[in-house]
Amino acid sequence: MADISGTLGEIKFYGTLAQKRLIMPVITDAYEQTMLNSPAICRTMTIEGLRATLPIASGVTVHSQLDEFEHATSRNAKLDNFDMKLYKDTLFFDVSDEMEIESAASKFGSMMTWQQNQKSIALEDNLNKLIAAQLDTTPQQYSGNGNLGNWASVKPTLAIGKMAASMGVNKPTAIVMGTLAGEYYVDAVGDKVALANLNEWRNAASIHPTLNIPVYISTDIDNLDASGNSQVFAVSNRTPGIVSVISTIRANEGYNMELGAKQWRYDVWRTPFSNIRQTSDSKNLGVMWGYMTES
């Protein structure tokens, strides 16, 4: 077993050095390229083991501008817990006898390099889907019903601005929307927004011109339901609305007699969580949902 320290924090790895060298570029690249795992949307954290309990203080108040000899007591604070259990994603590297023989004559690079690219994309796709589902789990609804108006006649930037304002101190750090909403938004914003800061936010489509937060357009929002492409989520990474947790990687390898192939199996324990801090009616304090309409 080895501890891996890097951009993802400290991860427990069970396996050999060669096995670690094969999988770590895949994990790192997948996390860097996963749109919805952007730091603006959710924090990535590591834990030891597969279960953890986060202590959460709610009802915290600030006793403001106390004068000399005035005192304050913590009467309203409440300590609560959020329990997390991680589940695993499993992926395989397979090298058939034929692949091993042919690879010696290949002009297209290492067969493992190609597989690493494919596995990275698969992990990225999977994590995007998981985070999109968490956004949609228990969000608050803008204005009670989520209606952001007809974007064929209402300014999308104004609608999103009102949505953000309604979140109060839990103001959003990112906006995530389906592709139809995204088309209206980009068409409305056009070249009015400075795109120079986009390099700070990987895979963002735009920056909201007044909120100065990144806007992401995702087909994984489209796939939430039949009207997914019109949906919009405002999310705060400070509250936080979502956290992405990774813990352990375990490697195994052997020869599969039925397939006639060498096989490397990797189990990656990682799970995103939402609704960590809640409103009085048990909605996610860090995520708000809305939808746009069109003529």
The pLDDT confidence band at residue 191, using thresholds 50, 70 and 90, is: low
Q: What angle separates helix 17-33 from helix 111-135, to the nearest 10 degrees?
A: 50
The span from the CA of 117 to the CA of 107, in Å, is: 17
Q: In this structure, are strands 174-177 and 214-217 parallel, antiparallel, or unpaired?
A: parallel
Q: What is the largest distance, in Å, between two alpha-carbon atoms of the chain?
A: 84
Please indicate whether residue 257 or residue 103 has the higher confidence score (pLDDT). 257
**pLDDT value of position 75:** 64
The span from the CA of 58 to the CA of 278, in Å, is: 9
Q: In this structure, are strands 51-58 and 231-235 parallel, antiparallel, or unpaired?
A: unpaired
The pLDDT confidence band at residue 5, using thresholds 50, 70 and 90, is: very low
Q: What's this model's pTM, rounded to 2 decimal places? A: 0.88
Q: Name the average pLDDT for the chain.
A: 88
**pLDDT value of position 54:** 83
Domains annotated on the chain, with CATH: 2-58+82-133+242-274 (3.30.2400), 139-240+281-293 (3.30.2320.10)
Query: Does the pLDDT value for residue 151 go beyond 60?
Result: yes
Looking at residue 106, its amino acid is: S
Q: Tell me which residue of 198, 205, 203, 165 sits closest to 181, measured CA to CA.
A: 205
**pLDDT value of position 106:** 58
**pLDDT value of position 158:** 96
Query: Does the pLDDT value for residue 1 go beyond 60?
Result: no
pLDDT digits (tens, 9 = 90+) for 82-114: 899 999 999 999 988 888 787 766 554 567 888
The pLDDT confidence band at residue 264, using thresholds 50, 70 and 90, is: very high
Average pLDDT over residues 184-192: 81
Lowest-confidence segment of 195-209, 241-255, 272-286 by average pLDDT: 195-209
**pLDDT value of position 152:** 93
Prior bond of 240 cis (ω within 30°): yes
The span from the CA of 277 to the CA of 283, in Å, is: 8
Please indicate whether residue 194 or residue 16 has the higher confidence score (pLDDT). 16
Average pLDDT over residues 56-69: 74
